[in-house]
Structure 1
Amino acid sequence: MVELSKARGSYVDPAPARVTVETWARDWLRSQSQLKPTTLVGYESALSKHIIPRWGRRSLSDIGYAEIQHWISDLSKNLAPQTVRNIYAVFSLVFSFAVRDGRLVRNPAEGIQLPRRIKAKRGYLTHAQVHRLADECGDSRTLVLFLAYTGLRWGEAAARRQRQSIPALRSLFMLSV
């Protein structure tokens, strides 16, 4: 079998895959210089809270698909679906890094069944509620109406120049009660 793998060019020396998940995950994380600091913090959190405690002492080559699937199913009992998906994404990226480095032939986390996303129910204010809210905001009434009816986020509205926005907004909302 080894000779056949060598002939096909798919042979992977098993020795490098004996590195522990913790060692490899930390090495992978150090290599992620392209990420935003907030993303790195999220990855570090997933590693330290969920991945390393469960898998840290195991070698990369000793972990299989079924074990990972059972772990994901267990996580899904106590964590929100998106949290489980985020933890899984980090775990899978660690293994993908090992595949690219030639330590593993394939990623054992590939194809894991993940919990379904739950779409949050969104609540919307009625026109009367929007106007009541705006009235309670005093001098910011026009801004509240602008945000409510345009869908702009606060940062987008705050970035607008006053000379461009305020006169136009006042005239626009003078029609409102």
Structure 2
Amino acid sequence: MTVREWAAEFFAAHPPGKASSSARREIAWRVHVEPRFGRIPISAVAPSDVQIWVTELVALRSVSTARQALGVLRQILDVATADGVLTRNPASGARLPRAPRSEPCPLTHDQLWSLSAAMTSERDRLMVLVMGYGGLRWGEVSALRVRSVDSKQSTSSGGVCRGQWAAVPRCREDSRISNGAAPSTDCGRPACMVQITRTG
């Protein structure tokens, strides 16, 4: 039995839970796994073959693409191993290099305000600015209420976050820090945004 034939049975018996997961799995299989292993007998797949393939994928595409494709191949061969078709999974020992950590690249003041201006409601415009300057995730900003903000004390508080007012666009890493600096107005924009320190 070839890898392609076994994969057809695997996909039929193990449908993914979400449509997005199904699409990613299908693309990884069709674009990367099947062209390399589809015609090979499943018992002929060697660990060295898998490692060479993964290394080539990392060089030609990216670590994340190689990880997705390797995950699909591993799942297929895991089931073949569990069913006794293989004595061991030849993909289980394949190693991937660590993905390089990307440097944060927050929007400039003008970019953030342009994005805010493109929103269709005042609420959405304000949420974009709070997320941009405060570094909040969607779940955090959507949990904020009017009572969470004390404009006199220049603070915000709530079940998910607490912080000080600031006027510097933040990235996610920065949102863990509240340095107590005074609001800056050198960008020509109102100093009315929130710098967040997460509390839980």
TM exceeding 0.5: yes
Question: Which residue number corresponds to residue 27 of structure 2?
Answer: 45
Note if 1:20 corresponds to 2:2. Answer: yes
- Alignment partners' CA distance in 1, 2:42 and 2:3: 6
Structure (1 or 2) with the greater helix fraction: 1
Q: Residue type of the partner of 1:148?
A: G
Q: Which has the higher strand share?
A: 2
2:137 pairs with 1:153: yes
Which range moves more in the overlay, 108-117 or 41-50?
Answer: 108-117
RMSD: 3.1
Q: 1:166 to 1:134 in 2, by over 3 A?
A: farther
Q: Once the 2 structures are TM-superposed, how far is the Cα of residue 144 of structure 1 from its aligned partner? A: 3.5
User: Any unmatched runs of 5+ in structure 1?
Assistant: 1-18
TM-score (ref. length: structure 2): 0.63
What CA distance in whole angstroms lies between the structure 2 residues aligned with 1:54 and 1:38? Answer: 24
Please state whether the residue corresponding to 2:145 is helix, strand or coil: helix
Matched, 1:73 2:52: no
CA contact (8 A) 1:28 1:97 kept: yes
Among candidates 14, 33, 49, match of residue 32 of structure 1: 14
Any stretches of 5+ residues in structure 2 without a counterpart? 156-164, 166-190, 193-200
Partner of 2:145: 165
1:45 Cα offset (Å) = 0.7
CA distance in 1: counterparts of 2:58 and 2:47, whole angstroms: 17
- Higher RCO, 1 or 2 (CA under 8 Å, sep at least 6)? 1
TM-score by length of 1: 0.70
What corresponds to 1:104 in structure 2? 86
Larger Rg: 1
Match of 1:87 among 58, 69, 78: 69
Cα distance in structure 2, aligned partners of 1:24 and 1:48 = 14
Change (3 A) 1:37 1:165: same
Aligned 8 A contact 2:113 2:129 in 1: yes
Deviations 1:107-150 (A, max 9, x none): 01111121321111112368xx38x8449846466433422344
**Displacement, 1:35?**
2.4
Question: Counterpart of 1:23 in 2: which secondary structure?
Answer: helix
